[in-house]
């Protein structure tokens, strides 16, 4: 299976749909923290109960955003570079058990508190509330 803009959609949402389909996921969701640039988090629940987490950065222009830098055709054509990028993102998903992934959410939050997220209310809300609630409710 390979990523296709017509089938899976454009942008990171399309990548998430592709990843979910390729990995037999029963549910997936995502969050973005920031406005013109920031962090994106996608969570996937596979039909075998494993939980996948993909966190990456996004931006508002081709200079700071992988997808925009790669999708040079603003049409429904899917260039080979986008297929490669989708596969790269799929390879970055970290699959763990429910309990291990819940522990990882807390670890990522703690790392963020020590780094550049110390003043980000949204970062705390996603990693300490919304993401754990999604994992608990769907796995």
DSSP-assigned states of every residue in the chain: ----HHHH-SHHHHHHHHHHHHTTEEEEEEEEEESSSEEEEEEEEETTS-EEEEEEEE-SSTTT-HHHHH----SS---HHHHHHHHHHHHH-EEE-HHHHHHHHHHHHHHHHHTTTTT-HHHHHIIIIIHHHHHHHH-
User: What is the reported pLDDT for 15?
Assistant: 95
Domain ranges across the chain: 5-138
Put simply, whether the predicted model's pTM sits higher than 0.75 gets the answer yes
% residues pLDDT > 70 (the chain): 91
Indicate whether 100 pLDDT > 80: yes
Of 12-16, 60-64, 79-83, which one has max mean pLDDT? Answer: 12-16
% residues pLDDT > 90 (the chain): 58
């Amino acid at each position: 299976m390979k990523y296709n803009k017509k089938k899976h959609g454009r942008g990171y949402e399309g990548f998430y749909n592709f990843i979910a389909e390729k990995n037999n996921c029963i549910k997936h969701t995502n969050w973005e923290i920031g406005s013109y640039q920031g962090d994106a988090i996608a969570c996937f629940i596979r039909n075998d109960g494993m939980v996948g987490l993909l966190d990456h950065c996004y931006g508002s222009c081709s200079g700071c955003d992988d997808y925009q830098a790669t999708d040079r055709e603003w049409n429904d054509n899917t260039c080979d570079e986008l297929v490669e990028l989708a596969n790269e993102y799929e390879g970055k998903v970290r699959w763990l058990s429910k309990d291990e992934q819940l522990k990882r959410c807390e670890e990522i939050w703690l790392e963020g508190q020590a780094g550049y997220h110390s003043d980000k209310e949204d970062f705390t809300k996603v990693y300490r509330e919304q993401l754990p609630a999604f994992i608990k409710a769907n796995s």
